[in-house]
């Protein structure tokens, strides 16, 4: 039957962007990640959710190549996090990782030098939309403006994997919608985006699926609409149920 043929074709997916096999990460006596297994396909926008201390940021940092020591295996496009993967991973840390005393113009120059996939024109366009002056310095900026600068820099990279840790924490409620629209409009379907947030309610429409971590373990990796159907409510309500259970 023609139907079956068509169905089969759709099932053929590209290899996953991220493969995590049995990863455990300890900080002294504290186990941050506990035998984590995940396969993350391309073209997704995924919420990485969980209570404080559940291992979200640790997982992100391993993917970003910040921690080299852990048990198990992590592969990004088949490579261990390192020099090769850093060129294709765009990471937005939760605490400002930008030089305080440098003008936006100069930061853009650094990005252009360091990342082959950086689209300067796009970055300048985004900064204009957000009203971030090219001559301003991070030390003069509010938390919200720094968020906007970081998101503009990140979205201007043509990366395979985008990692965002609390991207809208400092952005006021009115500007949040703006940031979300910008992420949706500029999302690169050949890439995958993993977003850590505790503001689920404000951005839940962004996620096609969510990974829930609880005490360093993967509690679930599920389609957002499946969770809404299963728990009969918003993602945020589903999260509350999952954390309670």
Partner 1 sequence: MDKKLQENMPIYMQIMNRVRGAVASGELAPGERVASVREMAADFEVNPNTMQRALNELEREGLLVSERTAGRFVTMDRKLIAQLKREAAEDAADAFRREMLALGFSEEEMIEFFCRRCESVEFMEERIG
Closer Cβ to partner 1, 46 or 159, answer by number: 46
d(CA 191, CA 89): 9
User: Which residues are at the interface with partner 1 (CB under 8 A)?
Assistant: 43-45, 177, 180-181, 184-185, 187, 189, 201, 204-208, 224-226, 228-229, 232-237
CB of 195 to partner 1, least distance (A): 11
Of residues 82 and 229, the one with the C-beta less far from partner 1: 229
Residues 229 and 219: their CA atoms lie apart, in Å, by 18
Of 40, 59, 47, which is closest to residue 161 (Cα–Cα)? 40
Taking the complex as a whole, how short is the minimal distance between the CB of residue 206 and partner 1, in angstroms? 6
Give whichever of 26 and 208 is closer to partner 1, judged by the CB atom. Answer: 208
Closer of 100 and 236 to partner 1 (Cβ): 236
Q: Nearest approach, Cβ of 154 to partner 1 (angstroms)?
A: 18
Measured from the CB of residue 238, what is the shortest distance to partner 1 in angstroms? 10
Cα 110 to Cα 115: distance, rounded to the nearest angstrom? 8
């Amino acid at each position: 039957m023609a139907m079956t043929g068509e169905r089969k074709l759709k099932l053929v997916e590209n290899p996953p962007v991220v493969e995590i096999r049995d990863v455990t990460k300890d900080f002294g006596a504290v186990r941050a990640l506990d035998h984590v297994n995940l396969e993350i396909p391309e073209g997704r926008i995924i919420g990485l959710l969980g209570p404080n201390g559940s291992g979200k940021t640790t997982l992100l940092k391993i993917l970003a190549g910040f921690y080299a020591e852990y048990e198990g295996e992590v592969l990004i496009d088949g490579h261990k996090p390192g020099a090769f993967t850093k060129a294709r991973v765009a990471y937005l840390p939760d605490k400002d990782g930008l030089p305080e005393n440098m003008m936006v113009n100069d930061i853009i120059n650094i990005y252009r030098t360091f990342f082959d996939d950086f689209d300067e024109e796009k970055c300048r366009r985004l900064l204009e939309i957000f009203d971030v002056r090219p001559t301003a310095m991070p030390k003069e900026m509010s938390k919200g403006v720094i968020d906007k600068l970081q998101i503009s820099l990140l979205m201007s990279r043509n990366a395979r994997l985008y990692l965002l840790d609390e991207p809208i924490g400092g952005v006021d409620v009115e500007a949040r919608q703006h940031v979300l629209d910008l992420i949706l409009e500029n999302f690169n379907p050949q890439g995958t985006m993993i977003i850590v947030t505790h503001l689920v309610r404000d951005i839940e429409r962004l996620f096609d699926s969510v990974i829930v971590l609880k005490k360093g373990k993967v509690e679930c990796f599920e389609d957002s609409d499946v969770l809404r159907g299963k728990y009969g409510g918003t993602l945020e309500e589903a999260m509350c149920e999952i954390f309670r259970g």
